[in-house]
Amino acid sequence: MQPIRMGMIGGGQGAFIGAVHRHAAGLDGHYQLVCGAFSRDEANNNSTGEALNISPSRRYDSWQTMLQAELALPESERMQVVVIVTPNHLHVPISLEAIKAGFHVFCEKPAGVNFAEVKALQDVIHANNSLYGLAHTYLGYPMVWQARHMVTSGMLGNIRKVYVEYPQGWLSGEEETSNRQAQWRTDPAISGATGAMGDIGTHAFGLVEFVLNDNVTALSGELYTHVDGRRLDDDGAALIKTHKGATGVLIASQVCAGEENALKIRVYGDKGGLEWRQMEPNSVVYRPLGAPYQVFRAGQGQAGLCEEASSRCRVPAGHPEGYLEAMANLYSSFAKAVRANQKGKAEGVPGIDSGLRGMVFIDAMLASSGSDTKWESVSQEGAQA
């Protein structure tokens, strides 16, 4: 089985997320990186390409050149999948061109920087029936699938409550002392109209909709900025309501000093509850009413796991798999979709609809924050039927 030929846009040396994608794509051996436009800085682009064993002729000086030049190659050599790991404002422009050129796209989240452009991209993807994957990494964790299974299979009964929180602390300090990442992430021209809420609140939102297999319909929230000179929110929270009638709370903050990456979701129905935490991703706590609580554990062949969870484990229980494995699960599902010639959406991989959901969430948060009106409705664009 030949590896899928992959190209990368962005991800030059010093960029965190590009390396994450390369680790993840490499883990299961489904991809071979054949070309890249890693950086607009020529030296960086070259040295990154060389370090990654890309032939000089396929180290491109711009993403436009890359798309064009690859198209000109014979199909058997041409890049099949383009991975986009640029700053946010380029996600849609590149995705659009790549899809029009017939490439499959795997894009770092968010899908784009505003609703309009992502909606336009959605239209193109739907029209072309193209494969487009979005790196909502946390949806690659086996035990997130297990949590969703517990909800959808009725183990919790009717869902009443959902609490999701995503506290980080890395933006607690002053803007000028923060790192390069912090700077572009808090620049509206690059990141879009929100900071923390767009960066990590969308993960929390997407996790709620995925695990509940339900859609948020309204929210009442506030955004805050705690550091002088920062131009985007670094913190916020919202009360939320879902289509099927659950209510709850969503918290996302990058000024929770000392917190690392503590995404967590809890769901309660009339028969039981569950809890999953990203920082100990291989467990789901299940609390049935009237019985001792249970801990379901990830692992190949592990008791009690649904197929969607166990098929996403590489090793037996007790051998921790983590963040890169979660993203690798997205890459492997995407590879399967490419090989199976799936259309429209890769099975098991968040797609453009998930991307659009993130945009409607951000728009609702922006509308709600500072408003005197309590509840803001969340558009059902991108929602599952």
Identified binder of a second copy from the candidate list 264, 297, 312, 345, rule CB under 8 A:
297
Identified binder of a second copy from the candidate list 57, 76, 153, 373, rule CB under 8 A:
373
- 15: closest CA among 192, 191, 180, 186? 180
Tell me the closest approach of the beta carbon of residue 307 to a second copy, in angstroms: 16
278 binds a second copy (CB under 8 A): yes
Tell me the closest approach of the beta carbon of residue 129 to a second copy, in angstroms: 28
* Alpha carbon distances (Å) from 81 to 35, 43, 49, 60, 66: 10, 25, 17, 16, 12
3 binds a second copy (CB under 8 A): yes
Which residue carries 């979701």 as its tokens? 265
44 binds a second copy (CB under 8 A): no
Q: Which of residues 173-192 bind a second copy (CB under 8 A)?
A: 173
Give the CA-trace dihedral at 243, 360, 355, 268, to 10 degrees.
Answer: -30
In what order do the strands lie in the sheet containing 376-377?
Answer: 283-288, 272-277, 264-269, 159-167, 247-253, 235-242, 216-224, 376-377
Q: Measured from the CB atom, is 117 or 235 closer to a second copy?
A: 235
Find out whether 199 and 192 touch, Cβ atoms under 8 Å: no
Candidates 60-68, 168-176, 202-210, 347-355: pick the segment binding a second copy (CB under 8 A).
168-176
Identified binder of a second copy from the candidate list 271, 336, 342, 367, rule CB under 8 A:
271
Q: Which of residues 70-129 bind a second copy (CB under 8 A)?
A: none
Distance in angstroms (rounded) separating the CA atoms of residues 256 and 273: 26
Identified binder of a second copy from the candidate list 43, 116, 189, 289, rule CB under 8 A:
289
321 binds a second copy (CB under 8 A): yes
Distance in angstroms (rounded) separating the CA atoms of residues 332 and 323: 14
Identified binder of a second copy from the candidate list 78, 304, 344, 381, rule CB under 8 A:
304
Candidates 70-78, 85-93, 113-121, 312-320: pick the segment binding a second copy (CB under 8 A).
312-320
Distance in angstroms (rounded) separating the CA atoms of residues 148 and 308: 10
279 binds a second copy (CB under 8 A): yes
Candidates 66-74, 110-118, 275-283, 335-343: pick the segment binding a second copy (CB under 8 A).
275-283
Identified binder of a second copy from the candidate list 96, 124, 317, 383, rule CB under 8 A:
317
Distance in angstroms (rounded) separating the CA atoms of residues 89 and 255: 24
8 binds a second copy (CB under 8 A): no
Give the CA-trace dihedral at 120, 79, 140, 314, to 10 degrees.
Answer: 170
Q: Are strands 4-10 and 81-85 parallel, antiparallel or unpaired?
A: parallel
Q: Measured from the CB atom, is 218 or 359 closer to a second copy?
A: 218
Tell me the closest approach of the beta carbon of residue 362 to a second copy, in angstroms: 18
Tell me the closest approach of the beta carbon of residue 106 to a second copy, in angstroms: 17
Q: At a CB cut-off of 8 Å and minimum separation 6, what does 261 contact?
A: 168, 278, 279
My answer on whether omega of the bond before 74 falls inside 30° of 0, hence cis, is no
Number of neighbouring beta carbons within 10 Å of residue 257? 12
Find out whether 328 and 28 touch, Cβ atoms under 8 Å: yes
Identified binder of a second copy from the candidate list 126, 243, 287, 336, rule CB under 8 A:
287
Q: Measured from the CB atom, is 250 or 359 closer to a second copy?
A: 250
Candidates 63-71, 99-107, 167-175, 340-348: pick the segment binding a second copy (CB under 8 A).
167-175
Q: C-alpha angle with apex 36: 33 to 41, nearest 5 degrees? A: 145
Total of chain residues touching a second copy, rule CB under 8 A: 94
Q: Measured from the CB atom, is 129 or 293 closer to a second copy?
A: 293
Identified binder of a second copy from the candidate list 2, 57, 76, 153, rule CB under 8 A:
2
Tell me the closest approach of the beta carbon of residue 359 to a second copy, in angstroms: 23
**Residue span 212-231 as binding mask against a second copy, x where in contact by CB under 8 A, dash where not:** --------xxx-x-x-----
Which tokens is 119 given? 């909606």
Which residue carries 């070309």 as its tokens? 35
Q: Which of residues 146-165 bind a second copy (CB under 8 A)?
A: 156-157, 160-161, 163, 165
